[in-house]
Amino acid sequence: MEKMIEMMLKLAEEKQYRRLKELLAEMNEVDIAAFIDELDSEKAVVVFRILPKELAADVFACLSVEKQQHIITSITDREVATIIEDLFVDDAVDMLEELPATVVKKVLQNANPDTRALINQFLNYPDNSAGSIMTAEYVGLKKTMTVKEAFDYIRRHGVDKETIYTSYVMNEARQLEGVVTVRDLLMNTYETVIGDIMDTHVIKAVTTDDQEEVADCFQKYGLLNLPVVDHENRLVGIVTVDDIVDVIEQEATEDFEKMAAMAPSERPYLKTGVFQLAKNRIFWLLVLMISSLITGGILAKYENAFAVLPLLVTFIPMLTDTGGNAGSQSSTLIIRGMAVGEIEPADVFKVVWKELRVGTLVGVVLAAVNFVQLLIRFPGQPLVCATVVVSLMATVILAKTIGCMLPMAAKVLHMDPAIMAAPLITTIVDALSLVIYFQLACALLGL
Amino acid sequence: MEKMIEMMLKLAEEKQYRRLKELLAEMNEVDIAAFIDELDSEKAVVVFRILPKELAADVFACLSVEKQQHIITSITDREVATIIEDLFVDDAVDMLEELPATVVKKVLQNANPDTRALINQFLNYPDNSAGSIMTAEYVGLKKTMTVKEAFDYIRRHGVDKETIYTSYVMNEARQLEGVVTVRDLLMNTYETVIGDIMDTHVIKAVTTDDQEEVADCFQKYGLLNLPVVDHENRLVGIVTVDDIVDVIEQEATEDFEKMAAMAPSERPYLKTGVFQLAKNRIFWLLVLMISSLITGGILAKYENAFAVLPLLVTFIPMLTDTGGNAGSQSSTLIIRGMAVGEIEPADVFKVVWKELRVGTLVGVVLAAVNFVQLLIRFPGQPLVCATVVVSLMATVILAKTIGCMLPMAAKVLHMDPAIMAAPLITTIVDALSLVIYFQLACALLGL
């Protein structure tokens, strides 16, 4: 592929457009778009124009926003109109959401009134709702049709539809009555009436449902597409599995970002500006910095202790890091388990009991290893060794318990469990572990 | 749904099996399996046996491993044979990989020789390879067939196939020559020859390809299914998009686990034993604990400094936590960006330059906030304030740089970038930030 693109870039450079056109006609729209994205703006428009007509809209949908914008502003209104009519509504909407207002205006002016109305309707669905990821291109049948009539209908109207493998059966009021797949049609005789073979137990979503719920539904039932209805059960669109694949990745990325104490970003890293990146990160850094200043305040109470025995200070990083890591492990497993639906808040007792035992096991191993190295390094200070080891064990067990309980508590309180991830857990565990450590030190060592 | 299941549990309790059977016949296999999973083992077998015959295998594929095992050992050999022949090969293989050896033996003994050979072949593909997630159920056509012959063939053989919407065209040696979709068939006349309408630019995978590459391919091209060939280009199976949805979730979960310093687990949290959970976590906890003991060792060098000025110690949590958080933010974005293919190792200079600027911006804001609170709390100690603020800024910038560079370095060295996540970055940044802090303190405060 790399070599092919190199050769094609050379052809574009040498303006050998006829040869280039032949090569392009053989290629997949995704690869063509990748090639055009590599060209400079001027060449991109030229190459886009020599594309076979039936490919142009598909390629356009795969281009980067920058190239889309440049092409839209460089081509004629008539060409814009053709592209926008050929695009699937969901692709058109995705594109318009990214483009600047002036370009959007040019696009909408050139769309025909029906398309424009549809696009405007779609642009109004809330972000991340079923409505915002659905497409209006589906095959709608009536239950009085026969299989033969259905096939004829699909043959006549199907080319435009994003998926023709599932057809939706509606009554006069456009209310969803059932679904029938091409497979059902193929497996029955031409005379069969659709009403007799359609499946009336339709799994469906409502326009306002969250895209995450929609994705869960796809996964649970292994769907290829899902009808979306309005609050009167009228069919308004379908969601297809290729969009769900993107939703799942996007939701996972959001969780990764939240769990690393950042506001989720709308765009890929390399395309996000420095100020936006800084803005996404600063809020949590500030909150956590101030929280750890409080931890520092706690530490100040024990100034006398470490003035007398400075050795105590050298174990602080080990204690706080280990506590933070142990807590993050638990919180990560629980947050992820809840995100994929494996763990429910009702499991809280099972989870805490499990973490208590895991924490004890892990704590004992860590304490034992530590005890050996301490005895070797500080043979004359058994009480210091004991303080460190006992604090370590208590910290690990406490960290595991807090790490599993806070995300579940967040879920119960309808907050996002992903906030209760490594950074916040670490800060909380830090404070607690230092209190345990110095209290114990004061008691055992009489400081 | 909850209510429905409650009512059905009551019916099962009261042994009203006829009424129950009527309800079950109306339900989706996923929901039936969820219901059977709620029953005790004995009742589960009874209910499983009253299922409509055509549903039994589908429901079986959705049951939990425990229930599958119990049912397999409770029903007759003949019933086992029916189920195993009705299952798609990939579901059968998934199931067999989980079941204990004795049960697997019972299953394989009851499969017919062809099925047994196929299952054995599939069981031999490496874990997480394209071969391990593919299914053998696809429609194979010849290029000399007409559209009519193709439809007749699909009508005759299609019921067994996991997806009939894409058919694969093979030559006599079973080598893949092209693909044709039901959509292509529907849009052409019955007399058209398959060879004329098939797409010969087939996107395909090889049995040994990693499942992550396969998933990337589905996403890039928006596929519903992908043919899998052996090293002689012979078609051996297809991967369908519903399995890819699972692969994407599974790969994200693995990254979450690795990034929280755990070995990835094979099974859901609630079904993993305490010892296994502890085992997954202990290795990295030990490594990181020992690393932070080294940090403690560095701290020991400055014992004199904090013996003289114990106040210095109280800023340690704030410095190390903020450094760790700032570094984790960067490493998380870069690791995730590389996982979804948005960032390549070749982008290293762009990324470092970006992080340097973000780090400076964020560092300045954090330092300014800190400086104000320090001046209020410790008005008489401007040099201590300066030490803390300058160290904080240096730490944040350093953390961001290290946080973005280490994951990219790991990728270049063919290691998993997910290792270079929050826990390791925190430990490294801890050590560096303490050195900066105390060196600066010694220099500025003359300790």
List domains and CATH numbers for chain B.
2-124 (1.25.60.10), 139-240 (3.10.580.10), 269-445 (1.10.357.20)
The minimal CB distance from B260 to the residues A249, A314, A328 is found for A328
pLDDT of amino acid B2: 67
Of all residues in chain A, the one with the smallest CA distance to B361 is: A278
Q: Distance between CA atoms of B202 and B57, rounded to whole angstroms?
A: 32
Is A200 part of the contact surface with chain B (CB cutoff 8 Å)? no
Please list every residue in chain B whose beta carbon sits closer than 8 Å to the beta carbon of residue A337.
268-270
What residue of A is the nearest CA neighbor of B326?
A: A285
Between residues 231 and 260 of chain A, which touch chain B (CB distance below 8 Å)?
241-242, 244-246, 248-249, 252-253, 255-257, 259-260
Tokens of A444: 């055992």
CA angle B26, B29, B35 (to 5 degrees): 90
Query: Which residues in chain A touch residue B324, judged by CB atoms under 8 angstroms apart?
Result: 324, 423, 426
In chain B, the N- to C-terminal Cα span, in Å, equals: 71
Q: How many CB atoms lie within 10 A of CB B112?
A: 10
- Each residue's pLDDT expressed in tens, for chain A with a length of 447 residues: 667 778 888 888 888 888 888 888 888 888 888 888 888 888 888 888 888 877 888 888 888 888 888 888 888 888 888 888 888 777 888 777 777 777 777 777 778 777 877 787 777 788 888 988 888 888 889 999 999 999 888 888 876 677 778 899 999 888 999 999 888 888 888 899 999 999 988 999 999 999 989 998 988 888 888 999 988 888 988 998 888 888 888 889 999 999 988 888 878 888 888 999 999 999 999 999 999 998 888 888 998 888 888 888 999 999 999 999 999 999 999 999 998 888 999 999 999 999 999 999 999 999 999 999 999 998 888 899 999 999 999 999 999 999 999 999 999 999 889 988 889 999 999 999 999 999 999 998 887
**Predicted local distance difference test score (pLDDT) of residue B323:** 94
Residues A127/A186, Cβ–Cβ less than 8 Å: no
Question: Searching chain B, which residue's CA lies closest to the CA of residue A304?
Answer: B310
- Residue B420 to residue A434: CA distance in whole angstroms: 27
Q: CB contact, 8 Å: B357 with chain A?
A: yes
Determine contact: A447 vs chain B, CB below 8 A: no
- pLDDT at position A271: 86
Subunit contact B282:A362, Cβ cutoff 8 A: yes
Neighbours of B275 (CB within 10 A): 11
Is A433 near chain B, with CB under 8 Å?
Answer: no
- B42-57 pLDDT, tens digit each: 888 888 888 887 788 8
Decide if B253 and A221 are in contact by the 8 Å CB cutoff.
no
Q: Is the pLDDT of residue B282 over 80?
A: yes
Chain pair A-B, CB pairs under 8 angstroms: 328
Residue A405: per-residue pLDDT: 94
Contacts with B257 from chain A: Cβ below 8 Å: 332-333, 336
Number of neighbouring beta carbons within 10 Å of residue B106: 14
Whether residue B30 lies within 8 A of chain A, CB to CB, comes out as yes
Element (H, E) at A166: strand A166-170
At B200-234, the pLDDT tens digits run: 889 999 999 999 889 989 888 888 889 999 888 88
CA distance A329 to A343: 16
Strands A176-181 and A166-170: antiparallel
A427: which chain B residues are within 8 Å (Cβ-Cβ)?
321
> How much is the average pLDDT of B60-76?
85
Distance of CA A378 to the CA centre of its chain: 50
pLDDT digits (tens, 9 = 90+) for A3-27: 777 888 888 888 888 888 888 888 8
Indicate the pLDDT class of residue B341, thresholds 50, 70 and 90.
Answer: confident
Q: Does B186 touch chain A (CB under 8 A)?
A: yes
Query: What is the pLDDT, as a whole number, of residue A411?
Result: 92
What does the pLDDT look like over B374-384, one tens digit per residue?
999 988 888 99
DSSP string of B189-223, one letter each residue: -TT-BHHHHSB-----EETTSBHHHHHHHHHHHT-
Residue A343: C-alpha distances to residues A256, A333, A338, A397 (Å): 18, 10, 5, 21
User: For residue B133, what pLDDT band results from cuts at 50, 70 and 90?
Assistant: confident
Nearest CA in chain A to B152: A186
pLDDT of B90 = 78
DSSP annotation of A261 = T
CB contacts under 8 A, B 310-339 vs A, are: 310-311, 313-318, 320-322, 324-326, 328-329, 331-337
Position B159 scores a pLDDT of 66
pLDDT score recorded for residue B19: 86
**B235-240: strand order across its sheet:** B205-206, B225-229, B235-240
Per-residue pLDDT tens digits for B361-398 = 999 999 999 999 999 998 888 899 999 999 999 999 99
- Bridge-based pairing state of the strands A139-141 and A166-170: parallel
B427 contacts A369? CB cut-off 8 A? no
What is the separation, in whole angstroms, between the first and last Cα of chain A? 71
Spell out a b/e string for A220-257, using b for 16 or more CB atoms within 10 Å of the CB, else e: eebbbbbbbbeeebebbbbbbbbbbbbbbbbbbbbbbb
By CB neighbour count within 10 A (0-12 exposed, 13-18 middle, 19+ buried), where does B394 fall?
Answer: buried
pLDDT for the residue numbered A175: 92
CA-atom Rg of chain A in angstroms: 30
ipTM over 0.85: no
**How close A394 comes to chain B (CA, Å)?**
15
Q: Minimum mean pLDDT among A350-359, B105-114, B272-281, B402-411: which range? A: B105-114
Residue burial B243-269, b: 16+ Cβ < 10 Å; e: rest: bbbbbbbbbbbbbbbbbbbbeebeeeb
Nearest Cα neighbor of B193 from B157, B149, B139 is B149
Residue with tokens 């692709």: A91
Residue-level pLDDT at B430: 92
Q: Report CB contact under 8 Å: B187, A286.
A: no
Chain B touched by A221 (CB under 8 Å): yes
Nearest-CA distance B70 → chain A (Å)? 22
Substitution target from A250, A277, A347 for chain B, most B beta carbons within 10 A: A277
Kindly tell me the sign of the dihedral angle through the C-alpha atoms of A377, A378, A380, A386: negative
The whole-angstrom separation of Cα B255 and Cα A253 is 11
What local confidence, expressed as pLDDT, does residue B393 receive?
96
Distance CA B374, CA A342 (A): 46
Report yes or no: B205 and B239 within 8 Å, Cβ to Cβ: yes
Facing B342 at nearest CB: one of A186, A269, A336: A269
- Judged by CB atoms closer than 8 Å, whether chains meet at B293 and A318 is answered as yes
B285 vs A contacts (CB less than 8 Å): 322, 325-326, 329, 362, 366
User: Which of these, A7, A65, A68, A56, lies nearest to A32 by C-alpha position?
Assistant: A56
Sign of the torsion angle spanned by Cα atoms B62, B65, B66, B72: positive
pLDDT at A183: 85
Are B319 and B374 a contacting pair, CB within 8 Å? Answer: no
Looking at per-residue confidence, does B95 or A287 come out higher? Answer: A287
Best interface-test mutation with A: which of B250, B314, B369, B381 has the largest number of A CBs within 10 A? B314
Interface check for A187 against chain B (CB to CB < 8 A): the answer is: yes
Residue B51's pLDDT is 86
